[in-house]
Structure 1
Amino acid sequence: MENSSPENTITAVNKATSVIETRGTLDANFPDLRKTFRAEFVYNETKHEAVQPVILKESIILPEEGLEALQTFNPSANAAGIAPFINKAYFTIKNCLYLWDYTERKMIVHEEEDEIVGAAFVKPKAGVFAAEINQLLIISTIRQVKIIAASYNPTTGLKVFQTDLNTTASGVNMKVIVGTNKGRVFMLGNDGNVWELDYRSDETWFTGKCSKKLHTTSSPLSFIIPTTKDPVIQLAINECGNVLYQLTQNSNIIVTYLGEDGSSFNTVLQCKDAAKLANSSVPNSPYVASNVFKIVSLNPTSPSESKDYQLVAITSNGSRLYFTQYEGSQHLLNNGPPNTLQLSHVRPPNSDVAPTDVFAHTYYKDGLLIGVKNQNEKRTEDRIVTYSPDLAAIANPNNIINSIPSYTEFNNFLDVPGKIISIVETANTAYQINELTAPFETPGRTFLVLTTYGMAVLVKQRPIDMLYKLICNANQDTAARLRNFESFFQYFGYVNSISLCLGILCSTSSIMKNGLTSVGSVTNDISKSITVLLENMGSAPSAINPQFSSRHDGLALFVYRVINPIWSKPFVKASSNDASAIYSSILAPAQLQRTLTVMRKLSNLMQEKSNYFLRSSNAEEQESLSNLNELIKHMTEGLSFIQYIINTDLSSIVKSIKPEAQKRLLTMTLKDLLTSKDGRKVASDLSYALVDYTSNKYQTTGHVIDVLTEHCGSFCSASNVFLHKAAQQIFSARSATNASQARAMLTESLNMLKKIALHIPADKAAEIAQDFAQQGYPVYGIELALACSSARDPHNTTNAYVKAGCSLNDPAAKTFANKQPFYDIVFDLLYKIVTKTSASVLSESESRNQVFKSAFSSCTDQAFAYYVFEKFIQNKMGEELIKQPLPYLEEFLICPPFNFERNSLLASFYNSNERYEEAARTYFELARAAKDIPTRIKNLLQASVSASSVTSPAKQYEMYQLTEAIKQNLENANRQSVTASQ
């Protein structure tokens, strides 16, 4: 059982949350790429292979029959491509379609009756085919266009099914075929027109199951761009599937809106003067001069790259033209129709590229450009040139904190065996330009390059991959080669680099492989090397906050990066708004498991390396490291708790909590649940519901505790079980058959609660204490509150704190703040007894005496006594205190500074305890301090009575002098009173 109280944990967690979110601004402030564009064009070239942005990972040789067939491949006459979803590459030679499984190294050949001029794999429309059909193979021959259905999964492989869906080619060779994510199929014919292949499950009176439709000549712009003079040469579709881009031979761009649902076809605008606009953007640049300007590809972009541009056009020499298709804030509307096409930026290639150089097979996405430079039939290898964002320049804290940095790119080249035919990117998960946030175990971007030799596999190296490779190259000699790493740490920033080190150490698996994509193994030697880096590099001051080390801020940034994907999102949804709703998790199980695994590894690492992660000569940093440790443990146990509820029966457990808690849970984020006051209440409700659910399944309390502790940690452990069972027993005592049975049940529950006093939150203790009082046992409520307070400070360290005047800088101030809510519980119970607002099975006198005795009889907590005494005085009930023999009362009343009301109570205390000499002197001092004459006279008279009550012969002379002074002051006061009345 943990030794930290709930309030200490939550205080630490909230402070740590603030720290990680502050450090997380480094990622949150990562700029939209458009905002980094400047008039100057900066490129960096890295010679060291370990930090090359794009590398050749693997080359796969085609089977012999494929190599022979490709000897006659003609790019202008034959079709070719890659379908990563099904792990297949394909190309056509005459009437044969060669289908190559590059993972299994197998080749199959499909033959048609006529020569094949086009082929592609596309997604099917919904509702036309059986559910298992997830791909369509479209084959275009010189006579017809036909559809073959395909089913693929990694286990069973690819299965194809012939269909009766086909249509005549009508003399047009459909050479380019593209599909949308909604299943629409567009084709580009050798007539320069755009066609659509339509298919359906049933025939109609006027159309068959499959037909084609000519779009270009029916376009409202057909009179502007005659298709015979400026044919369309490329088609591109954006990720949403609602915009179709057409590139013409004369570098004109036509934009067609396919509708919000992707089912219409409305050509809305065009750009006919791209060359002129580009020349105006970069005047006198030879790269966009009219004699060399030619757009060779259109590349739709994603919002993850920029919200300010939606299309990048690549010219023949590798220049990039960035276009926006929205005016004003229109881009903020999802799937909104384009309303303009404006050139916002032009970026020429680096100086190694001549204006007359020619790029082919260009691919651009998410800031990365790949192209084949000066493809030459005589060479046996093609040279690939790449440009990608230089994250070190963009995301280094030194650059990003003060201002938005300028756009800097890495460029590199690599030679690929064979002549390149096609380049595609494999399917990837949600990608972020800021690759510094990428988990190590998630493979980076992978590109497949089909060549006349086979398949070249290219990998985009992320900074974490570069660091891993540097560590591998050090060959267990990291300590002696620290200089090799210093440049890396300086380049990417020490904070980022520490975060990357932790990303490798805490990765969720040693080896992951999916098809052609894999990541390295984190061996013991790799772990030792990273430990050396952490110990030697972590002491550098942080660029985010120089008062802290890079070790501290790197740790905080890493935690932010791990939890950020799920931290601020709701995680529970309901199927409906009524009582029959089914509750389910929004969190993807794999994402939840990955986050939980990483947090567990990090927590264990911090304990194993506590001297490094939890020690600092900077007191502020050490406290923050301790808070981060609490957050990591709290987050780990919270995620484990959530995962266990999801895997157990989320819907049933949620349904068993209060309706208002159910509503709050639906809008609550993980951050809310784990750090907010309201979240803690809902978490408490969920934990008690889980206890009930588990108790019904496992009958013995011990087994229930073992199960919950194993899966949920302190979030739902033995303390939660005992707390919930005690609360149930207190409630059941209301319906006990007699008072003795009720008392026995309440006594047993109190004893159970005292055992877990440290883990009972103040609000729950107040609720239980009130329940005790309502059943006539306020003493039990007081005992519970004092037990909770004592558990938080067993050695009464706050006694010295109150004696010293309660300085805010005192280390015990935090402990006192934790105990104060429990002091308030005791005072509230005493107040109700005194004011007769509490029900009790005892008589009034017995109740008052018993309750006060319970609170103070064996009190060793002087801070508690002082606090409650002060509360009584503030509530004008000080006289109640002197009716009981209370410890520390006199000491409290005489402690400085002077307080008139407190001294009045002190005088009454002396008088009631027959200490008349002290009473007389105190009343006399009160009279002298009184601000009005009546009060002065009243205290002088009381002083006189007290002085006259002193009977000790040894004190007679002193009392005589005091009495004379009282008389003199009384005469003066009476004269002043008479004068004032006149």
Structure 2
Amino acid sequence: NPAVAMPAAMSPSVPTAQEALEIAGRSIDQQIKDDRCYPDLSELLAVPAPGSPTVSGMAAMDYPLQGPGLLSIPNLPEISSVRRVPLPPELVEQFGHMQCNCMMGVFPEISRAWLTIDSGIFMWNYEDGGDLAYFDGLSETILAVGLVKPKGGIFQPHVQHLLVLATPVDIVILGLSCANIQAGTGSLNDSMSGGMQLLPDPLYSLPTDNTYVLAISSTDNGRIFLAGKDGCLYEVVYQAEAGWFSQRCRKINHSKGALSFLVPSLLQFSFSEDDPVVQIAVDNSRNILYTRSEKGVLQVYDLGRDGQGMSRVASLSQKAIVSEAGSIARTIDRSVFMPIVQIAVIENSESIDCQLLAITHAGVRLYFSTSQFKHPTTRPRMLTLVHVRLPPGFSAASNVEKPTKVHRALYSKGVLLMAASENEDNDILWCINHDSFPFQKPMMETQMTTRVDGHSWALSAIDEFKVQKIVTPLNKDIIPITDSPVVVQQHMLPPKKFVLLSAQGSFMFHKLRPVDQLRHLLVSNAGGDGEEIERFFKLHQEDQACATCLILACSNTACDREVSAWATRAFFRYGGEAQMRFPSALPPPVSAGPFLGSPVPGGSPLTVDSPYTPSFLTTPGQGLQPSVSTPLFPSGNSMSHLGTPVSGMMGPEIVFSGRHNGICRYFARIIGNIWDGSIVAERVFKSGNREVIAVESSVPSHVLECVLQELKGLQEFLGRNSQFATVGALGNPSTPANLQQRLLGFMRPDGGSSQQVQQELQRKYHAEAQLTEKTSLQGIQQLVHKTCQALALWKLLCEHQFSVIVGDLHKELQERLKITAFKDLVIRDRELTGALIASLLNCYIRENGAVDGIIAHLQEICPLLYSTDDAVCSKSNELLQRSRQAQSKLDKEKMLRESLKEYQKISNQVDLANVCVQYRQVRFYEGVVELALTAAEKKDPQGLGLHFYKNGEPEEDVVGFHAFQERQVFRIPYYCYMQLNSYKCITDTLQELVNQSKAAPQSPSVPKKPGPPVLSSDPNMLSNEEAGHHFEQMLKLAQRSTDELFNIALYNWLIQADLADKLLKVTSPFLEPYLVRMTKIDQNKVRYMDLLWKYFEKNRNFSNAARVLAKLA
């Protein structure tokens, strides 16, 4: 069955809180898994292998917004409104003085636009047109410009970028530094805000040898490449100092061999064809370099695995590319495949299989691969055309005009921008992308066009923001190499920002995420309903649209309040409802009429064998092709509640609504980066000559804060909306085991199928589905609460000394923490969270800090993990620890008494053995007795254990037996799960005192070496007399207890310890019955009879004493 089954481990009634958490956790696991199963670009393009190329763009659904169909949303923008910033007025004036050449471009790394006019270069801030800087230290016309991040270890730290300028005569490399470094004088205006300043004296200068440079590009590791008009690829190699056989800076021709700099340039010119290299594109993620020539030749160079090598791998002529594209897309006029106007790399963060994209003047995209598929680390060895993607306008139903005269293009992480000449004065800017449909196969894209004043000179992406993947040993094998789609990360990823330069100025705009598009629709409709909003939910599918909607609905920003309310309305209006679905394999009983072949939502028309959906599509999951008899949410994006098979057939199933699945999906997206990773990471650093391993938080505190704020928004949303009422008021939800029986029970035995019966059935099915969904949502809500609190605790630990806190844990717990995922800390591992809290508090106590503040803070931020009882325990522990440092005996006594009073409040939750050991160390023996007795009483308040004992310990009294055991054996939930005998804590302490009182005093001995006397024993050890005194005091206190079971345990111990004389001094009403019972059941009856007659004699009951003696005789 393609629907996902809910676990069948639910009890027939409402699941327990822990079961609900486990079920919710599994739902989140599934959603995270689904979000990680996005297809690679090659899968979207339906390319199985490099040798099996494909074509797309001709089907109506390739661009669903291009036709007049139901999916079209006329008012759905792809890019924001364009903000135009005019050129600085001083620049406009300079155009009048131009004699030879001018060029324009963008340096997004330093937020600057640049313009060359003849031999001068100008830079300014494209955001506001300010901070104009210029450099006019060259005498020749500038032909090419490049900005380079320099190699490490060559320049002073303040030189953060190199500006490379090429003229017909020489190549000059200038340093770009931080503004606070004094750079000396020069023909440069004094500032470039953003902290950059151009150093006027060139760092390097070398001759061009008559090579006209047309483009300059660089790699992330500082290599500089030049595109030559002679058709060659050059590299500028630079170093700090000249060597024996190398200059500080030299030029290498990679097209003619490594020693080409020795060959006179005149000879080189005579051999080369006139096909200038016009573009260089570098893939820094794979260390591959591509070039494009004026005649459309594409070449591939392998820079080596480490990025330091250089070898030419493959070359493809324009003729070969057009021929191949024509054979792939046979029905398309081949003129659209040439010329290529731009190439763009596809980094490994976007695709494992496709490496290069070429865009033609008609907007056709040609995808290339350099190696076999599914081998992300393979070096390039070919250049093969694997897919032809036609632009909008090629489908039969399209009413969109095709792109023409594309002269500039930019491809960035799935977004294609193309500037096409409309006329001499204006450009049309195309935006095409698949951000809205990352899971849809084959690839579906949206498109938009907008008019731009002037001819576009440059187009660049700016503010590239990347979400850092949190990878730990626990989840490294399940996190994809490629980046998650925008729709998965849009709650934390700002919209992509772009700048276009023309002679009219800089044009700034954003590529809108789906959430920005929804906001636009809500604002333009001034509310949460309207046809366009409904279409948005249909276009994206209910659960995906609901998850997007929640980003706005959960926003706490003041400026978002109105939008948040509208988004909430849209969420509930268009998010669908839970419904019952019946598989077609299950024949409907006659009495049910046609209903058992279809889902039954309230008050809606029914169709046999297909789930009801208000959408025009039968399957609004990720797939958009209509199909029959499929679940509402296909595999990978669904959650449902499955019935059990009856007579070999699958039972009915509840399909959750888009609202339910949207909540799960949004929660999964907020937490997905840290959910299945561990919270600790080992970092190795050097301390002197040795390596030290430190355990740190796997996630920085500021990232945890961001996740926590997002999650709190969801928590408040769930709290605000009463739609998630408690299940108790609604009755019990069905479980897989009883769902089918209940539904069949809804039917009338007489087989009536009147309209009234049908409506009643419909209503009951609907109520059943609603109820099951509500139960599931409460589990999710509880999981959100608990996750928020676990995150808050983790963040608090990071704000303190995380390494120290973890380092103070027991070694076993430290090892367990390394292999425990965050989700397990949230859902089930209370012991580890308790241990971390205890360690945090111990840090405060050790440094003599007051713990009241941190205790109150813990109770505020994570009450589910740190309860009031835990706080009492922490306070008691603090008093106990501080008593050790108390100066006066009175203060010490007072602190110990207070700690005992606090421990007694929560005695059934205390690590009794540990506390008793500490009380023994500070000689607070009465604390041992009183705490252990309180703990025993709280564990069995009804005295069931005593009842069991007095009835002769019958085997059938299971409850009594457990109570009897509970009084003696305790489970400790806070510090460590150990079984402890509470009475044994008292008898062990008594035994220790007896042993010490009988120990032989240490005899003086001759020292083994000269010097001060060596202490051969613990100075705090009790003397024999002290031990004897404490024993008597403790025994006297213990005898006062009215706990009969404890008295019996005490008597047993006294006899085993050979202290029968002490037993006979006991004045307790429990002693006589004890002795009488033991004479009847103990194997050593004589011993107990001997004690019994002595007891009677001591109490002057001579007749009974005589009777016992007679029996003994």
TM-score by length of 2: 0.63
Tell me the secondary structure at the aligned position of residue 784 of structure 1. Answer: helix
The answer (yes or no) to whether the contact 1:79–1:175 under 8 Å persists in 2 is no
1:445–1:152 distance in 2 versus 1, CA, 3 Å: farther
Please state if 1:161 is matched with 2:199. Answer: yes
Among candidates 446, 451, 463, match of residue 410 of structure 1: 446
Q: Give the whole-Å Cα distance in 2 for the aligned partners of 1:885 and 1:418.
A: 108
Aligned twin of 1:566: 674
Cα deviations by residue, 1:545-600 (Å, 9 ceiling, x for unpaired): 35333332221111111111222334433335989544433423432211111222
**Cα displacement (A) at 1:707:** 4.2
User: What amino acid is aligned across from residue 85 of structure 2 in structure 1?
Assistant: I
1:704–1:24 distance in 2 versus 1, CA, 3 Å: closer
Aligned twin of 1:585: 697
1:820–1:318 distance in 2 versus 1, CA, 3 Å: farther
1:292-311 equivalences in 2 (<5 Å): 292-311=337-356
Q: Give the whole-Å Cα distance in 2 for the aligned partners of 1:825 and 1:783.
A: 20
**Cα displacement (A) at 1:244:** 0.6
Among candidates 397, 405, 423, match of residue 459 of structure 2: 423
1:778-789 equivalences in 2 (<5 Å): 783-784=934-935, 787=938
User: What amino acid is aligned across from residue 777 of structure 2 in structure 1?
Assistant: L
Tell me which moved more, 725-734 or 614-623.
Answer: 725-734
Aligned twin of 1:254: 299
Aligned twin of 2:388: 346
Aligned twin of 1:179: 218
Q: Give the whole-Å Cα distance in 1 for the aligned partners of 2:977 and 2:856.
A: 32
Aligned twin of 2:273: 228
Q: Give the whole-Å Cα distance in 1 for the aligned partners of 2:232 and 2:1072.
A: 101
**Cα displacement (A) at 1:419:** 0.7
Aligned twin of 2:639: 545
| 5+ long unaligned stretches in structure 1 | 1-6, 396-403, 511-520, 792-804, 807-815, 858-882, 887-907, 909-982
1:385–1:666 distance in 2 versus 1, CA, 3 Å: same
Aligned twin of 2:807: 655
Q: Give the whole-Å Cα distance in 2 for the aligned partners of 1:659 and 1:579.
A: 20
Among candidates 631, 635, 639, match of residue 787 of structure 2: 635
1:305-344 equivalences in 2 (<5 Å): 305-327=350-372, 329-331=374-376, 333=377, 336-344=378-386
> RMSD of the alignment, in Å?
4.8
The answer (yes or no) to whether the contact 1:297–1:314 under 8 Å persists in 2 is yes
The answer (yes or no) to whether the contact 1:440–1:507 under 8 Å persists in 2 is no
1:139–1:609 distance in 2 versus 1, CA, 3 Å: same
1:122–1:436 distance in 2 versus 1, CA, 3 Å: same
Per residue, is there more helix in 1 or in 2?
Answer: 1
Q: Give the whole-Å Cα distance in 1 for the aligned partners of 2:415 and 2:1047.
A: 72
Tell me the secondary structure at the aligned position of residue 569 of structure 1. Answer: coil
Aligned twin of 2:141: 115
1:786–1:250 distance in 2 versus 1, CA, 3 Å: farther
1:821–1:241 distance in 2 versus 1, CA, 3 Å: same
Please state if 1:129 is matched with 2:147. Answer: no
Aligned twin of 1:29: 37
1:694–1:728 distance in 2 versus 1, CA, 3 Å: closer
Among candidates 64, 89, 96, match of residue 44 of structure 1: 64
The answer (yes or no) to whether the contact 1:508–1:597 under 8 Å persists in 2 is no
User: What amino acid is aligned across from residue 151 of structure 1 in structure 2?
Assistant: S
Aligned twin of 1:14: 22
User: What amino acid is aligned across from residue 195 of structure 2 in structure 1?
Assistant: G
**Cα displacement (A) at 1:13:** 3.6
Tell me the secondary structure at the aligned position of residue 63 of structure 2. Answer: strand
Please state if 1:105 is matched with 2:147. Answer: no
Q: Give the whole-Å Cα distance in 1 for the aligned partners of 2:314 and 2:564.
A: 56
User: What amino acid is aligned across from residue 176 of structure 1 in structure 2?
Assistant: A
1:554–1:707 distance in 2 versus 1, CA, 3 Å: same
User: What amino acid is aligned across from residue 690 of structure 1 in structure 2?
Assistant: L
Q: Give the whole-Å Cα distance in 2 for the aligned partners of 1:666 and 1:625.
A: 31
The answer (yes or no) to whether the contact 1:232–1:248 under 8 Å persists in 2 is yes
1:70–1:453 distance in 2 versus 1, CA, 3 Å: farther
Tell me the secondary structure at the aligned position of residue 91 of structure 1. Answer: strand
The answer (yes or no) to whether the contact 2:214–2:278 under 8 Å persists in 1 is no
Aligned twin of 1:556: 664
Cα deviations by residue, 1:325-349 (Å, 9 ceiling, x for unpaired): 2225432x2xx42133332222122
1:635–1:292 distance in 2 versus 1, CA, 3 Å: closer
Cα deviations by residue, 1:859-907 (Å, 9 ceiling, x for unpaired): xxxxxxxxxxxxxxxxxxxxxxxx9999xxxxxxxxxxxxxxxxxxxxx
Number of aligned residues: 798
Aligned twin of 2:537: 489
Cα deviations by residue, 1:122-161 (Å, 9 ceiling, x for unpaired): 2111112222322221111222111111135897532111
The answer (yes or no) to whether the contact 2:346–2:357 under 8 Å persists in 1 is yes
**Cα displacement (A) at 1:379:** 3.0
Q: Give the whole-Å Cα distance in 1 for the aligned partners of 2:63 and 2:259.
A: 43
Cα deviations by residue, 1:655-704 (Å, 9 ceiling, x for unpaired): 32233433444454423433353xx4333222111102223456444334
Aligned twin of 1:977: none
Aligned twin of 1:60: 85
The answer (yes or no) to whether the contact 2:279–2:293 under 8 Å persists in 1 is yes
Aligned twin of 1:623: 775
The answer (yes or no) to whether the contact 1:322–1:344 under 8 Å persists in 2 is yes
The answer (yes or no) to whether the contact 1:495–1:554 under 8 Å persists in 2 is yes
Q: Give the whole-Å Cα distance in 2 for the aligned partners of 1:561 and 1:788.
A: 43
Tell me the secondary structure at the aligned position of residue 445 of structure 2. Answer: strand
Aligned twin of 2:470: none
**Cα displacement (A) at 1:756:** 4.4
Tell me the secondary structure at the aligned position of residue 446 of structure 1. Answer: strand
Cα deviations by residue, 1:63-109 (Å, 9 ceiling, x for unpaired): 233335457989x9543210122221112121121212122422333
1:570-719 equivalences in 2 (<5 Å): 570=678, 571-576=680-685, 581-612=693-724, 618-677=770-829, 680-696=830-846, 699-710=849-860, 713-716=863-866, 719=869
**Cα displacement (A) at 1:293:** 3.1
User: What amino acid is aligned across from residue 636 of structure 1 in structure 2?
Assistant: C
Cα deviations by residue, 1:422-467 (Å, 9 ceiling, x for unpaired): 1110131227562222344642111110111111123211110011
Aligned twin of 1:449: 500
User: What amino acid is aligned across from residue 341 of structure 1 in structure 2?
Assistant: L
TM-score by length of 1: 0.71
The answer (yes or no) to whether the contact 1:688–1:721 under 8 Å persists in 2 is no
**Cα displacement (A) at 1:495:** 1.7
Tell me the secondary structure at the aligned position of residue 312 of structure 1. Answer: strand
The answer (yes or no) to whether the contact 1:778–1:851 under 8 Å persists in 2 is no
The answer (yes or no) to whether the contact 1:45–1:412 under 8 Å persists in 2 is no
Aligned twin of 2:326: 279
**Cα displacement (A) at 1:768:** 6.9
Cα deviations by residue, 1:774-826 (Å, 9 ceiling, x for unpaired): 999699557537747989xxxxxxxxxxxxx99xxxxxxxxx9xx99689999
Q: Give the whole-Å Cα distance in 2 for the aligned partners of 1:103 and 1:505.
A: 31
Q: Give the whole-Å Cα distance in 1 for the aligned partners of 2:894 and 2:403.
A: 96
Please state if 1:96 is matched with 2:96. Answer: no
Aligned twin of 1:968: none
Q: Give the whole-Å Cα distance in 2 for the aligned partners of 1:258 and 1:827.
A: 63
1:588–1:279 distance in 2 versus 1, CA, 3 Å: farther
User: What amino acid is aligned across from residue 340 of structure 1 in structure 2?
Assistant: M
